[in-house]
């Protein structure tokens, strides 16, 4: 059931860094993005996969983690992502990528979750530095970075009350994500 997979597909920010992911496996998740819809079928997105431990260590300091958790600066070494996928816009193909990025990200992460992994989409990225590390040419612009690994944290969904949507961690280190109730997000159903 797609519902089970969607629920399992949480934004995981702590991983078991001892469990590696082969780049061939990640390529199969990119394949899911390849087979997904694209505005005007332009397919202007490209992907860079990094499973290299040293390079991952260079990428990590350029990422911002979990803005609402003010006392947490991101995962410790043994909980860091073991791979990254950079979602890139090929500006030589198009300037506009419509909602291709979200479609691709959802496909990739559902694939990862089905295979027992998980990830987090990060927008807070020092793009010029990560572009240098990944040796990206000028025409490939970083849109998002997906951090990947074997999840090592529990994430639960709650119902948002009075519009308070900030995620938080309880005393047992469980990560809570308040979601607006269905009746609040469906404006009209006829």
Site for a second copy in 106-135 (CB under 8 A): 106-107, 109-111, 114, 121, 123, 134-135
Site for a second copy in 36-55 (CB under 8 A): 36-37, 39-43, 45-52, 55
- Residue 141 contacts residue 88 (beta carbons within 8 Å): yes
Q: Name the residue with tokens 């061939």.
A: 24
**64 part of the interface to a second copy, by CB under 8 A:** no
**179 part of the interface to a second copy, by CB under 8 A:** yes
**Nearest approach, Cβ of 127 to a second copy (angstroms)?**
15
**98 part of the interface to a second copy, by CB under 8 A:** yes
**Nearest approach, Cβ of 58 to a second copy (angstroms)?**
12
- The DSSP string of 139-182 is TEEEEEEEEEE-B-S-EEEEE-STT----EE-TT--EEEEE--H
Site for a second copy in 155-174 (CB under 8 A): 157, 160, 165-167
List 144, 145, 148, 149, residue binding a second copy (CB under 8 A): 144
| CA-angle at 40, arms to 31 and 95, nearest 5° | 90
Q: How many C-beta atoms lie closer than 10 Å to residue 86's C-beta?
A: 24
| Residue nearer to a second copy on the CB measure, 11 or 126 | 11
**Nearest approach, Cβ of 39 to a second copy (angstroms)?**
6
| Distance (Å, whole) CA 159 – CA 116 | 26
Total residue count of the chain as it appears in this document: 190
């Amino acid at each position: 059931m797609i519902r089970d997979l969607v629920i399992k597909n949480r934004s995981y920010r702590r991983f078991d860094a001892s469990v590696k992911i082969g780049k061939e496996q990640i390529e199969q998740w990119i394949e899911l993005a390849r087979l997904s819809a694209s505005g005007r079928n332009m397919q202007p997105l490209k992907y860079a996969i990094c499973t290299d431990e040293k390079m991952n260590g260079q990428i990590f300091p350029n990422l911002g983690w979990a803005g609402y958790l003010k006392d947490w600066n991101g995962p410790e070494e043994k909980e860091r992502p073991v791979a990254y996928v950079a979602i890139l816009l090929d500006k030589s193909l198009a300037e506009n990528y419509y909602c291709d990025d979200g479609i691709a990200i959802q496909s990739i992460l559902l694939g990862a979750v089905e295979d027992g992994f998980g990830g987090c989409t990060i927008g807070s990225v020092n793009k010029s530095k990560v572009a240098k590390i990944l040796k990206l040419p000028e025409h490939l612009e970083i849109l998002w970075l997906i951090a990947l690994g074997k999840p090592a944290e529990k994430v639960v969904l709650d119902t948002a009350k009075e519009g308070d949507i900030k995620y938080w961690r309880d005393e047992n280190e469980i990560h809570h994500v308040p979601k607006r109730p269905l009746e609040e997000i469906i404006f009209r159903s006829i």
